[in-house]
């Protein structure tokens, strides 16, 4: 039932060779908060997974053990783990309930999906299989309540997704066991309505949120978002915090802005699953299956698109030294920045080199996908800030309200920054290079930039990194970069500029990518 995250070994609580329900224990497959799963073999040689749940660790644990066993008897589907039997162990003075299930050997869904080389079609097939499993489960009155990649395995034998672990599942016939506000589950997959209930009923004795079908569907949306982008839409902690505000009130960054390989039709499904209310999502898993099947029937070249290229052995990072000046421009592709290496006109003084400051922060928990191919950006001979050419409004496109709202909140239209650096070695710069080509913003972004954020097309805002002025800075490939500034003043380093609708200390978060002759910066948040 659980993938062999750890190979079978002889250090399990039960010795190898122990007989349970007629099967012989061969090793441990995995351990969780409520149970241990063993690999067992029948006298005929059939290998299966046996979950051992303690009965002597309090009435709640015992009731959960019985609940999981009973829920398993109600479910039968190729994309649901199949229950083969159950009983108590030892026969005399039993201390455990054992549940024997079919062995599903294979990686978890995230390990499978983010490994590289998976097409859009392959990923959506796995999501359809999960939706099918939930459709059967919900029809039987069973909620999973902990849908996440760790509980979805991709079978090595069939290639299909299998939903496992109903240990915190629920059925109307089952009594409520949780004494806290929320049912057991994982905060990052918890639906907005659950967080809203928790806030509205905080401190009320006996207040307990009752999950519904919409909670399982929202969790599928989080799973799909991670498969498409390699990151969570939001990361709320167990006891709330700043990211809970985002879950409740912010639209997630549209997946195609994080990973340009994501087709817009797939993005629509993902954003609908992540809607703030269950009414705005699909009415049920059956409706989700129908939508995914219709999407598959309309497949085109996008369905064969690889979401993440095959990973190659990383090259040795190339470093660039210099003094940094960030110039934030306006009017090119949203969330895309370009960093230029300046000429030798601004030469560092001849003095002992101070300890370099690395323009790199700790890597995020979820690594973003590789960036889209950056436009061919030229080096400038002069060291003045480079103004981006003004772009015309793209033709209006039919987009959903969710994507427009997300663009309003996350798509600021800041193209990144032009970066000038004093090189330790002379750079061969041609006398003239063409200006970087314009690139259209997503639909609605230009209007938002002008009317909502007060940003003028072609305008250049500059932020002088005074904290590193006069110091050598190591720009390392694949570095994470954050740029802050006094945005409300809108003043550049020459004292010019107008106020924009960004609060002071707003941070633009992105990554640096070192290429031959230039450094690219791509801002995504």
DSSP code per residue over 428-493: ---S--PPPPP-PPPTTHHHIIIIIS-PPTT-EEEE--GGGTTS-EEE-TTEEEEE---TTT---T
Q: 229 is written with which tokens?
A: 């982008």
DSSP code per residue over 188-229: GG--HHHHHHHHHTTT-TT------HHHHHHHHHHHHHHHHH
Residues in the chain: 525
Q: Cis before residue 90, ω within 30 degrees of 0?
A: yes
Q: Is 88 annotated as a binding residue?
A: no
Q: What single-letter DSSP state applies at residue 170?
A: B
Report the distance separating Cα 433 and Cα 289, nearest Å: 52
Report the distance separating Cα 68 and Cα 84, nearest Å: 13
Q: Are 522 and 513 in contact (CB under 8 A)?
A: yes
Q: Exposure of 333 by Cβ count < 10 A (0-12 exposed, 13-18 middle, 19+ buried)?
A: buried
Which of 488, 489, 483 shows the shortest CA–CA distance to 467?
A: 483
Q: 462 is written with which tokens?
A: 């500059």
Q: What residues contact 385, with CB distance under 8 A and at least 6 apart? A: 327, 329, 418, 460, 462
Q: 271 is written with which tokens?
A: 């954003």
Q: Are 518 and 379 in contact (CB under 8 A)?
A: yes
339-368: burial string, b at 16+ Cβ within 10 Å, e else: bbbbbeeeebeeeeeeeeeebbeeeeeeeb
Q: Which residue has the tokens 């002379």?
A: 426
146 annotated active-site: yes
- Angle, in degrees to the nearest 10, between helices 264-273 and 285-297: 180
Q: What residues contact 201, with CB distance under 8 A and at least 6 apart? A: 181, 207, 209
State the CB neighbour count (10 A cutoff) for residue 405.
15
Among 23, 146, 215, 216, which one carries the catalytic annotation? 146
Q: Where are the beta strands (DSSP E) in 272-325?
A: 320-322
Catalytic residues: 146
Q: Which residues are annotated as a binding site?
A: 51
Binding residues for ATP: 51
């Amino acid at each position: 039932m659980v993938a062999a995250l750890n190979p079978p070994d002889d250090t399990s609580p039960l010795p190898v060779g122990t007989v349970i329900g007629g099967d012989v224990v061969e090793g441990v497959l995995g351990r969780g908060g409520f149970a241990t799963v063993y690999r067992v073999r029948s006298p005929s040689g059939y290998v299966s997974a046996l979950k051992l749940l303690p009965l002597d660790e309090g009435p709640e644990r015992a009731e959960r053990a019985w609940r999981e066993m009973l829920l398993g008897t109600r479910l039968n589907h190729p994309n649901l783990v199949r229950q083969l039997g159950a009983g108590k162990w030892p026969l005399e003075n039993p201390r455990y309930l054992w549940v024997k299930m079919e062995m599903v050997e294979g990686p978890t869904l995230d390990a499978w999906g983010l490994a590289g080389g998976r097409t859009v079609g392959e990923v959506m097939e796995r999501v359809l299989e999960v939706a099918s499993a939930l459709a059967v489960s919900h029809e039987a009155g069973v909620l999973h309540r902990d849908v996440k990649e760790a509980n979805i395995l991709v079978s090595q034998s069939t290639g299909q997704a299998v939903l496992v672990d109903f240990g915190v599942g629920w059925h109307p016939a089952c009594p409520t066991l949780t004494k806290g506000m929320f049912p057991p589950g994982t905060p990052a997959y918890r639906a907005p309505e659950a967080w809203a209930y928790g806030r509205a009923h905080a401190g009320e004795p006996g207040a307990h949120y009752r999950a519904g079908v919409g909670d399982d569907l929202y969790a599928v949306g989080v799973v799909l978002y991670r498969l498409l982008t390699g990151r969570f839409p939001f990361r709320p902690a167990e006891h709330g915090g700043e990211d809970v505000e985002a879950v409740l009130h912010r639209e997630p960054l549209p997946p195609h802005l994080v990973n340009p390989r994501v087709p817009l039709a797939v993005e629509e499904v993902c954003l609908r699953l992540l809607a703030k209310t269950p009414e705005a999502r699909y009415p049920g898993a059956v409706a989700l299956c129908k939508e995914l099947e219709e999407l598959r029937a309309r497949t085109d070249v996008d369905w064969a698109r690889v979401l993440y290229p095959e990973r190659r052995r990383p090259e040795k990072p190339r470093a660039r030294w210099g003094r940094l000046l960030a110039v934030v421009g306006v009017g090119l592709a949203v969330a895309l920045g370009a960093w230029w290496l300046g000429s030798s006109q601004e030469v560092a003084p001849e003095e002992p080199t101070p300890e370099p400051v690395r323009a790199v922060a700790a890597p995020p928990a979820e690594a973003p996908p590789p960036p889209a191919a950056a436009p061919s950006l030229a080096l400038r001979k002069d060291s003045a800030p480079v103004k981006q050419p003004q772009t015309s409004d793209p033709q209006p496109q039919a987009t959903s309200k969710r994507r427009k709202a997300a663009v309003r909140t996350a798509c600021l239209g800041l193209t990144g920054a032009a970066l000038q650096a004093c090189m330790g070695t002379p750079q061969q710069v041609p006398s003239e290079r063409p200006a970087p080509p314009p690139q259209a913003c997503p639909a609605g972004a230009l209007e938002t930039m002008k009317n909502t954020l007060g940003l003028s097309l072609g305008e250049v805002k500059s932020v002088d990194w005074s904290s590193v002025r006069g110091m050598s800075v190591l720009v390392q490939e694949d570095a994470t970069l954050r740029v802050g500034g006094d945005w409300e003043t809108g003043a550049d380093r020459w004292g010019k500029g107008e106020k924009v609708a960004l609060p002071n200390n707003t941070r633009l978060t992105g990554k640096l990518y070192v290429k031959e002759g230039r450094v690219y910066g791509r801002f995504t948040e």
